Amino acid sequence: MNEKIENNQMILNECGKIAEKCWIEIPQHIAHIKTDEFIIMPNHIHGIIIIENDFVGNRHACSLQNENRQYQKLPVTVGSFKSAVSKLIHQQIQQNFQWQKSYYDHIIRDEKSLFNIREYIIKNPLNWDTDKNNLGKDKK
């Protein structure tokens, strides 16, 4: 039941399918959020989150300074996603499922950067055999 990459395509197991469903549903649960390109890998996920207003920042320091900002959309979105996925996986499949602490973020500032990051996400399975996160080096 392990997730794997076969013929350069990600084959999702039940945990991956839950994560995919929750990712797709993010905009239904959090206002001013859209999701863009994403890929669920065997042990991590890459995805683009589009924040439709100026509520950008993490819990401790905000990328955009705005005195009227009341919400921190990125940490709320990522935290809610990880929490929902964990809850469903714990209930349905695997009690010991656990995310890595925190997350890595990057502000996409222009169309060229957006294009390059989308390409990186799409092509991520092609690089799995040499990925530093591939602890098992995916047996084929």
Supply the pLDDT for residue 138: 46
Please tell me the distance from the alpha carbon of residue 20 to that of residue 11, in angstroms, as a whole number.
Answer: 12
How many independent structural domains does the chain possess?
A: 1
Instruction: Examine residue 85 and state whether it is found in any structural domain, yes or no.
Output: yes
Instruction: Examine residue 32 and state whether it is found in any structural domain, yes or no.
Output: yes
Residues 6+ apart with CB under 8 A from 54: 64, 66, 69
This prediction's pTM: 0.79
Do 32 and 55 meet the contact criterion of CB atoms below 8 Å apart?
A: yes
Instruction: Examine residue 99 and state whether it is found in any structural domain, yes or no.
Output: yes
Instruction: Examine residue 71 and state whether it is found in any structural domain, yes or no.
Output: yes
Instruction: Examine residue 132 and state whether it is found in any structural domain, yes or no.
Output: no
Instruction: Examine residue 83 and state whether it is found in any structural domain, yes or no.
Output: yes
- Per-position pLDDT tens, the chain of length 140: 466 888 888 889 899 999 999 999 999 999 889 999 999 988 889 999 999 875 555 555 555 555 445 468 899 999 999 999 999 999 998 788 888 888 999 999 999 999 999 999 999 998 888 877 776 654 44
Q: Which domain holds residue 74?
A: 4-125
